[in-house]
Structure 1
Amino acid sequence: MPLLFEEIDSQDSPLGEISLRKRRMPAFGDRDIYEVKLGDEFLMSSMFVDAEEALSTLGLAATEGEALSVVVGGLGLGYTAVAALKDPRISELLVVDALDTVIGWHKDELVPLGKILNADARNRYVLGSFFDLATDPRSSFDPDNTDRKFDAILLDIDHSPTEFLNAANASFYTTENLAQMADQLKPKGVFAMWSQNLPEANFEALLKTVFGSVASHVVSFYNPFQNNESTNSVYVCVKAE
């Protein structure tokens, strides 16, 4: 009989103690639920992944061309990255994460999707702060090519544009810093971002100061704890030509 709860790993990180756990919940049947905690806060879970996958499918659906170079900001448990790699147009996927512990869990295949990511030659892990690499004009998401431009950037780090994993991340959500990130996109390149909340009008207005078009998508999924639908959202923005 599988264990109902198991702590797989726990390590110190620059943000505090980070731990990887696995549990079984009757509401989810025989499926193992993987969770990551940062201190006492739940950082990520495989309980509900529909919106994380939709971040890739919606963002890439708005992306034109072939042989796409794509950045995923925030590795998490790998769902956004694996969903992106299902698009045959992707030639290279750079997955940026600030925590080497999280990257290590995937490289060591302590999480289920690590095996898929490691087996795909298009995938490359980049250790670094997404926000620093996005807003420093001397940096790039590709450490080997600081002049590189990307077809799409898919971001899933903060809980929402107004609820931050780290208080320092708040400075990213300005016209200046979003525009600095957009400089790493090709013309008509796409920036897409996940949020746990419904679309926020103020953030949509901010995005429109940088991007040529902005669309918000509500992603619904069944929540067995509430016995009804829950919602997240995905913002999809296209850079002007």
Structure 2
Amino acid sequence: MSLNFEEIDFRSTPIGDLILRRRRLLQLGGLEIYEVKLGEDFLMSSLFHEAESQLAKLGLNLLKKENLDVVIGGLGLGYTAVSALEDERVKSLVIVEYLEGVIEWHQKGLVPLGKILTKDSRCQFLNADFFALSSDLSKSFDPNHPQKKHDAILLDIDHTPTRVLHQTNTRFYTREGLGELAQHLKPGGVFALWADGPPDPSFTRHLCKVFATAKSHTIVFDNPITGGSSDGAVYTAQVGL
């Protein structure tokens, strides 16, 4: 196999073929990047992760308290999780990931941030369907504490609220689905969502129908492939005290 391209892992899943690959970009001086594909969808590249990191920062910065219990939906290459753990106020972090292979990449050290997450005692991986857990109001996202409410829930799974990886996910973004998610939060708790591209003002208004406050953030980051910049979105919403 070429030193400039390696398929590290391939496996079939119920929602498509999952691929982890590593490439060297010669046009960027041989920079090594990791990419995740699911079927024909590019889920993530280590070349672009600023918006994923800002998801954690913007969400947690809304909380003015200590000892935070945090949930992340979607593990990916781990940038949101690592950013969350950089906040010393985080007491516990549950990362809910539907694809078992993604968790194994981190546990086996196949991706660069895996060791950071597996060595942090505050962090636990949960192989489960985030959306199913969100709709189940009888228990918590934390399997060890079924009655626990959470200070923040950070979500990075679908491309956008209207461009989802699986059609069953669309219910989550309805008023009913978001209302269920809000019931998993403590008073004053925060929901934050990553999305591809610039924010959609209509979705921010939609969040305001469920949460006490909501705001959209445009994350602009350098795009070395185009030589310009690209946009990502982070939506933040907070329940009342």
Class of the TM-score when normalised by the shorter of the 2 chains: over 0.9
Give the C-alpha shift of residue 225 in structure 1.
2.1
Asked if 1:109 corresponds to 2:117, the answer is no
Which is further off, 147-156 or 21-30? 21-30
Name the amino acid aligned to 2:199.
P
Q: How big is each residue's C-alpha offset from its partner over 1:37-76, in whole Å with a ceiling of 9 and x where there is no partner?
A: 1123212211100000000111111122101000011000
Query: In 2, distance between residues paired with 1:29 and 1:62?
Result: 39
The residue aligned with 2:51 is 51
The residue aligned with 1:165 is 165
Query: In 2, distance between residues paired with 1:166 and 1:237?
Result: 24
The residue aligned with 2:24 is 24
Q: Give the TM-score of the pair, scaled to structure 1.
A: 0.96
Give the C-alpha shift of residue 140 in structure 1.
2.3
The residue aligned with 2:156 is 156
Asked if 1:239 corresponds to 2:239, the answer is yes
The residue aligned with 1:174 is 174
Judge conservation of contact 2:137–2:184 (CA < 8 Å) in 1: no
Give the C-alpha shift of residue 30 in structure 1.
4.0
Query: In 1, distance between residues paired with 2:73 and 2:92?
Result: 14
Name the amino acid aligned to 1:221.
F
Query: In 2, distance between residues paired with 1:118 and 1:153?
Result: 20
Q: Give the TM-score of the pair, scaled to structure 2.
A: 0.96
Q: How big is each residue's C-alpha offset from its partner over 1:109-143, in whole Å with a ceiling of 9 and x where there is no partner?
A: 11110011011111100110111101122342111
The residue aligned with 2:74 is 74
Secondary structure of 2:23's counterpart equals strand
The residue aligned with 1:94 is 94
The alignment of Structure 1 onto Structure 2 pairs a total of residues equal to 240
Cα 1:28–1:187 shift into 2, 3 Å? farther
Which is further off, 191-200 or 26-35? 26-35
Name the amino acid aligned to 1:75.
L
Query: In 1, distance between residues paired with 2:117 and 2:31?
Result: 20
Q: Which runs of 5+ in 2 are unaligned?
A: none
The two structures, once aligned, show a CA RMSD in angstroms of 1.2
Give the C-alpha shift of residue 15 in structure 1.
1.1
Judge conservation of contact 2:216–2:236 (CA < 8 Å) in 1: yes
Give the C-alpha shift of residue 163 in structure 1.
0.7
The residue aligned with 1:39 is 39
Name the amino acid aligned to 2:215.
A
Query: In 2, distance between residues paired with 1:120 and 1:144?
Result: 17
Q: Which runs of 5+ in 1 are unaligned?
A: none
Query: In 2, distance between residues paired with 1:66 and 1:195?
Result: 28
Asked if 1:140 corresponds to 2:140, the answer is yes
Q: How big is each residue's C-alpha offset from its partner over 1:190-238, in whole Å with a ceiling of 9 and x where there is no partner?
A: 0000011211122111100111111111100111222211110100111
